[in-house]
Amino acid sequence: MKKLLTLFLTLGISTLFYAQGMGGGGWTHGDSLTTVSVTGTAIVDSSTMYPMYYLDENGDGVADYHLSFGPYWYHPDSSNAVRPNNGDPISISGGLRTNNVMISNTIIVYEINGEFWRDPIDTSWNGMGGMGGGSNGGHCGGFGGRSNVTLIDTSLAGIVFVDTTYFMDRYYLDTDSDQVPDYSLNFGPPWYEPASGALRPSDGDSISIAGKLLNNDVLSMVIVYELNGQVWRDSSSMGNQFGGTWFDKDMTSPAMIHSPFDMEDWMQVNPGWNNGGMGGMMGHNSLFGQMLEEFPQNIPNAENENVFAGYSIGMFTQNGTNEMWNNGTGRMMNFNSNVDYQLHYNDIQVQGYGIDESTIVAKYWNSQNNSWEVINDAVLDETNNTVTFSSNTVSSAVILDAQPLGVTGVNDKSESLIKGFTLKQNYPNPFNPSTMIEFTISKTNAVELSVFNAIGQKVATLVNKELANGNYKYQFNASNLSSGIYFYRLKVGSRSSVRKMNLLK
């Protein structure tokens, strides 16, 4: 039987939960679920390896809901709440997940009998706070870069646990073989792929890692630099803090802040920044600036925008407070000197999202009027795939937005005549975990069929060789990838075509 996959990490800011008790899941963020409150009688099934919890709402002795309390060893860090016993009368508040494979409805528990159990916010890939935010009395603090801690060099070995419960896979390390996690592992965003060719481990793999250790009272995190002797990321670009740098009010030279996994994404804070500000927010001797690239769908308030790239920005004080985030909402800060920005994108994003590259604009979240504002002086460089601009206003979120390409009227048949090949839509789509990609080429040629994630990073190569004319089908298995948008590109000679597909676990 497959071992327990879902493990829980709480750094006072980050929570993951297990929906079914055994096996993998794969669904949306906890804060995207509908919050419900129900009362009834607890039903506890102790016949499995780990108890399963249900709720009988109408007193007929039949379970109406499956209750997800997280893995067997989890307990809340901010209350004395405990799991119910069989037959206990209980009241539950939580996130409703429908169409579960076990019974019709699952409730991911947020509160039990009025006591805190977990925060509904599931933070983004970095496991350290993501966009920030907070709810339920501040159980989610949005620390992002955890700027007030120091990272320590470390080397470890053990067995990997993979948590597939939420939108993006999480990784943990059991170093003493007791099937309980001892560390969480930070491999960067799901789209990151190291130049060394190293691959993320699978559940149950034995691995050795080297990296930076972030100690915590509950479960320490290792930011991975090496995996099984292969380079995972360049440690020299990081220093003792994650995804950012400190800058002080008396500095005489600029401070550069890079997105951790793309050195072409950066912002530069210039001397003199501390002499102005909004609402007295700038009364700090130093700040820790952080810039993280996010999946477009994770950017708040962007539902009505044509976002194909997004970035979250944090400015942290020495006590760890993010000045860019207040009471669960993003905010702005005014600096007295301009901050310079460069945002980088790639051709896969342009082709995969079907955008008109010439229409790309940069926007920032204006927290004063709760809207996205175009940065009018931004410079688009289509050759180097960059957008640059300067502003003394720093916002919690910046996006790249573009208009879709107009309808060209080119169908599969005419495209084949023009390019010498036809690339069909994958089937099925959406898919889980496998789908078929079919194409036809009209003459012998060098052919490459590759798959990319939503950020345009290559995650798989299905074929890369010379093929004779004819019809071809290749299966793509995404069992080791997280749910989300992916692109597949067919290159035949010097020509290429890109289509979009949706992995839904």
Query: Per residue in 273-304, pLDDT tens?
Result: 885 444 334 567 888 888 888 778 778 888 88
**Under 8 Å between Cβ of 246 and 147:** yes
Cα distance between the two ends of the chain: 20
**Under 8 Å between Cβ of 16 and 163:** yes
* Three-state DSSP state, 187: coil
d(CA 427, CA 501): 9
d(CA 170, CA 162): 6
Residue 295 has a pLDDT of 76
All residues at 6 or more sequence positions from 289 whose CB lies less than 8 Å from its CB, including other chains: 244, 245, 246, 247, 255, 257, 267, 269, 313, 314, 315, 316
d(CA 232, CA 210): 9
**Number of Cβ atoms within 10 Å of the Cβ of 462:** 17
Residue 381 has a pLDDT of 93
Residue with tokens 């994108």: 345
The structural domains of the chain, ordered by start, are 30-116 (2.40.50.140), 152-237 (2.40.50), 244-401 (2.60.220), 412-503 (2.60.40.1930)
Instruction: Read off the pTM.
Output: 0.54
**Number of Cβ atoms within 10 Å of the Cβ of 99:** 8
- Residue 128, classified by CB atoms within 10 Å of its CB into exposed (0-12), middle (13-18) or buried (19+), is buried
Q: What is the DSSP letter of 64?
A: -
- In DSSP notation, 227-260 reads ETTEE-S-GGGTTTSSSEEEEETT-SS-EEEEET
> What residues are paired with 458 via a beta bridge?
452
- DSSP 3-state percent helix, strand, coil across the chain (nearest 5): 5, 45, 50
d(CA 315, CA 338): 15
Rounded alpha-carbon distances, angstroms, from residue 187 to 28, 172, 205, 346: 20, 10, 15, 21
**Number of Cβ atoms within 10 Å of the Cβ of 154:** 17
Element (H, E) at 490: strand 484-492
Closest CA relative to residue 298, chosen from 32, 8, 18:
32
d(CA 245, CA 239): 9
* Three-state DSSP state, 298: helix
State which amino acid sits at residue 449.
Answer: L
Peptide bond into 433 cis (omega under 30): yes
Residue ranges, the chain, pLDDT below 50: 1-32, 99-103, 121-148, 165-167, 239-241, 276-281, 407-414, 416-418
Closest CA relative to residue 394, chosen from 459, 274, 314, 487:
314
d(CA 435, CA 432): 7
* Three-state DSSP state, 347: helix
